[in-house]
Structure 1
């Protein structure tokens, strides 16, 4: 045991503040109520306080900080999307991620790895070229690479894929990275709390009150609150919240499962994704292989994991990386993915005055954590959609003005 840690244990008082806030009674009124204490909710609270001076804010979380999809994702960060709207949005997020450790004075284990999206067919390769050109036009580093370069960068991969679906090329995205999801949520939470924001865990919203076409308060299992603005940032629980205010969205909820192997010595310094095989993998800072696939095939509000997922994922993983047959799967889990028809989020103002949405994140919500918090905070402060999220407005479905991000997000982690 380090001597410094031993001395710390014998001290009767400690100079370091609590990382998480103590529970306080709810106040009768807040200017802003944020429903959801995951990364997005905490980021919104942080930027409201830091950049707009709005500190009379309550974050209400029915469980614990980062206990929803923030703690269930696979931590990949990238911006190699297909549409100009998506590329601009996520590239802003990548740039924010790169500075978060300094902003928080906290190690978030941000690690730039490079991201390979494999192409197994001619049509997939055409899509990769399309994405690369869109990315380059917007200043994002992406390029199509051939088998030789893949073999050089990922020598432990079987490019023949067990003879089933040989790899023909890939979209290589150099800024692709991973980060520690818990540290991101904790960093935003601590930063918001230190600036005066109140964070209430184990506080479930039971109703949202309205008057004359605008929000006027929320009811919780701990009492009622009056407020001027409410923003829902609850991912897979979004339909439950929108039903409270009579707002319809085209969101459907599908379980998304993932798992990790036992830790091994570092060997995989890249992120590998195959949309055709429905598999993606990276290696964590602890040495685990973090693996996942596409969402489950049926709509279901559940976080239960299944053997069918593990069996199917293992089959595809062994095609790409035969040697992992010797590794044991240590943990398996699921989250609830809120998916829209065009595979892009829903953000910003709604028909109900004072009620804002941050939803529809599907499999790509973690990488949007900084930019979603920053743009929603701006939107709340100015009561109009930030220019980066205007394409993701809820009304686009009624206007037939969809974003069309499926080619880069359907299994794009």
Structure 2
């Protein structure tokens, strides 16, 4: 899918740290849209080995804040053309997305989200329990009697895609335009002189550069220490699991905040399931039996007939959380150092729009208008972008 380069050059116009979806997308659009091709993507592991390959592939734009709705709506628009852009089947599939409400308070939040969505032209509507049951006749609408479904927010554009293919597509597209992708290369230091980026130290040599984009998810605090910056990001593992393939029966994507469940079914028939964040900070991608047992129990509240279905694997990613559940993007106090972080549980769906907006920001040195509400300085100003009500069930 992309070439292997035996050595690093002495200098690059841009160094992108992190070979996940966001870093590769930024490299792709920098080369394609801005003509910046002297780029090195530095990845300490392998392409797609981080959160890009460790998520549940849900794509949506039914957020709560004006900043979030407009940002993710542009991402959904970009997603729909990616397979053609890459000449690669991403298995992008529009399914519709139900966010179930089990309490009166949840129903109020769904109405709030629906109104904000409609104001910005995003298709979302509040539906009642009968509508949910008609669309999902296999659901136990009473959830065993302890958390009955009262209604839902239905988001017609909700979709899924094949996550590893996204990394391959952006990587191949960037490579074809002259970008160098260096796997198994770790950044050990970043040199700053008089408040400006001067270079990057790696396990394979030194690179002179004036621009660095940091897109490393759960490793962000470690990279920020290298340039003397602090952030309010904290790291929690987020686990997921997948079932054996079964006959297709679940077309929409189902999310329940009260039960801490989100689930979709792949083209191969597997159920891809996720739940809440692990309740402690551990910088490891290990998985636990407690997660599997708890999520299985909540899945059976919704779909009791799945009791004999087998779980075949589980995994975890590192969720880089922010206090307001919105990302941190754009310029920083260090000239030439750009940040794409704080994605928590919602980074995969933002991959295309992050590439677009961060490539513009790096190329011009000015924040793209769509990320104006996501700057690092908002925390110092106490002007947060409160996205908790729609970020994910993990919160």
| Residue 126 of structure 2 is aligned to residue 144 of structure 1 | yes
- Which ranges in structure 1 are unaligned for 5 or more consecutive residues? 1-18
- Picking from 240, 246, 251, the partner of 2:222 is 240
Q: Distance in 2 between matches of 1:54 and 1:412?
A: 37
Residue 312 of structure 1 corresponds to which residue in structure 2? Answer: 294
- Picking from 88, 105, 111, the partner of 2:87 is 105
Please give the per-residue CA displacement for 1:319-353, whole angstroms capped at 9, x wherever unaligned. Answer: 00001111000000000000000000000000111
Please give the per-residue CA displacement for 1:97-129, whole angstroms capped at 9, x wherever unaligned. Answer: 000001001100000000000000000000000
Q: Distance in 2 between matches of 1:286 and 1:67?
A: 22
Q: Distance in 2 between matches of 1:411 and 1:60?
A: 32
Residue 370 of structure 1 corresponds to which residue in structure 2? Answer: 352
- Count residues in correspondence: 395
Residue 96 of structure 1 corresponds to which residue in structure 2? Answer: 78
- Picking from 324, 331, 334, the partner of 2:313 is 331
Residue 48 of structure 1 corresponds to which residue in structure 2? Answer: 30
Could you tell me whether the CA contact under 8 Å between 1:274 and 1:280 is conserved in 2?
yes
Task: Describe the shift of the 1:412–1:82 C-alpha distance in structure 2 as closer, same or farther (beyond 3 A).
Answer: farther
Q: Distance in 1 between matches of 2:207 and 2:69?
A: 38
Q: Distance in 2 between matches of 1:380 and 1:42?
A: 14
Write the mapping of 1:98-177 to structure 2, written as runs, cut at 5 A: 98-177=80-159
Q: Distance in 2 between matches of 1:212 and 1:305?
A: 43
| Residue 370 of structure 2 is aligned to residue 388 of structure 1 | yes
How many Å apart are 1:388 and its aligned residue? 0.4
- Picking from 15, 21, 27, the partner of 2:9 is 27
Q: Distance in 2 between matches of 1:217 and 1:23?
A: 20
Could you tell me whether the CA contact under 8 Å between 1:273 and 1:412 is conserved in 2?
no
Please give the per-residue CA displacement for 1:237-269, whole angstroms capped at 9, x wherever unaligned. Answer: 111111111100000000000000000111110
Q: Distance in 1 between matches of 2:283 and 2:128?
A: 40
Partner secondary structure for residue 409 of structure 1 = coil
Could you tell me whether the CA contact under 8 Å between 2:277 and 2:394 is conserved in 1?
no
- Which ranges in structure 2 are unaligned for 5 or more consecutive residues? none
Residue 263 of structure 1 corresponds to which residue in structure 2? Answer: 245
How many Å apart are 1:411 and its aligned residue? 1.5
Write the mapping of 1:49-64 to structure 2, written as runs, cut at 5 A: 49-64=31-46
Partner secondary structure for residue 134 of structure 1 = helix
Mean Cα displacement is larger for which, 83-92 or 293-302?
Answer: 293-302
| Residue 182 of structure 2 is aligned to residue 200 of structure 1 | yes
Partner secondary structure for residue 371 of structure 1 = helix
| Residue 199 of structure 2 is aligned to residue 226 of structure 1 | no
Mean Cα displacement is larger for which, 52-61 or 293-302?
Answer: 293-302
Mean Cα displacement is larger for which, 80-89 or 277-286?
Answer: 277-286
How many Å apart are 1:412 and its aligned residue? 6.5
- Picking from 273, 286, 305, the partner of 2:268 is 286
Q: Please, what is the CA RMSD of the aligned residues? A: 0.8
| Residue 195 of structure 2 is aligned to residue 216 of structure 1 | no
| Residue 49 of structure 2 is aligned to residue 70 of structure 1 | no
Could you tell me whether the CA contact under 8 Å between 2:117 and 2:124 is conserved in 1?
yes
Q: Distance in 1 between matches of 2:137 and 2:303?
A: 10
Could you tell me whether the CA contact under 8 Å between 1:364 and 1:412 is conserved in 2?
no
Please give the per-residue CA displacement for 1:346-396, whole angstroms capped at 9, x wherever unaligned. Answer: 000001111010000000000000000110000011101000011100000
| Residue 256 of structure 2 is aligned to residue 274 of structure 1 | yes
Q: Distance in 2 between matches of 1:381 and 1:141?
A: 33
Q: Distance in 2 between matches of 1:362 and 1:42?
A: 19
Partner secondary structure for residue 294 of structure 1 = strand
Residue 401 of structure 1 corresponds to which residue in structure 2? Answer: 383
Partner secondary structure for residue 326 of structure 1 = coil
Partner secondary structure for residue 385 of structure 2 = coil
Partner secondary structure for residue 118 of structure 2 = helix
